[in-house]
Structure 1
């Protein structure tokens, strides 16, 4: 199982979280995104998918 490739999802912050709810800003940070256009590669889990869905208007899935 160690040889098996983990499914990953790459997300990019395309809109500023300024002016959004605090929980949405926390979710952006939780996904490892800092500056505009920064990208993060994460494991494709239901928890990560839920976080992406919550802030779908701020990010792009690559």
Structure 2
């Protein structure tokens, strides 16, 4: 399975509670923090929920 690198590029201040919780579930707590996850359907769905707050790269 492929891996993805998710970087938080915008703040979660003044965002709905579900988006804040999604960022926390992804492991993103601070600006410019980077986490790596397996590209499972549940992770992809979480990334799509906050796609305007994060940047995503595929890792080979």
Normalising by the residue count of structure 2, what TM-score does the alignment of the two structures yield?
A: 0.91
Residue 3 of structure 1: aligned partner: none
Distance of 2:55 and 2:39 partners within structure 1: 15
Give the ranges of 4+ consecutive aligned residues of structure 1 lying more than 3 Å apart after TM superposition: none
Residue 29 of structure 1: aligned partner: 24
Relative contact order: is structure 1 or structure 2 higher (C-alpha 8 Å, sep ≥ 6)?
2
Residue 15 of structure 1: aligned partner: 10
Structure 2 residue runs without a partner (length 5+): none
Structure 1 residue runs without a partner (length 5+): 1-5
Distance of 1:23 and 1:54 partners within structure 2: 9
- Higher Rg: 1
Normalising by the residue count of structure 1, what TM-score does the alignment of the two structures yield?
A: 0.88
Greater share of residues in strand: 2
Match of 2:52 among 26, 32, 57: 57
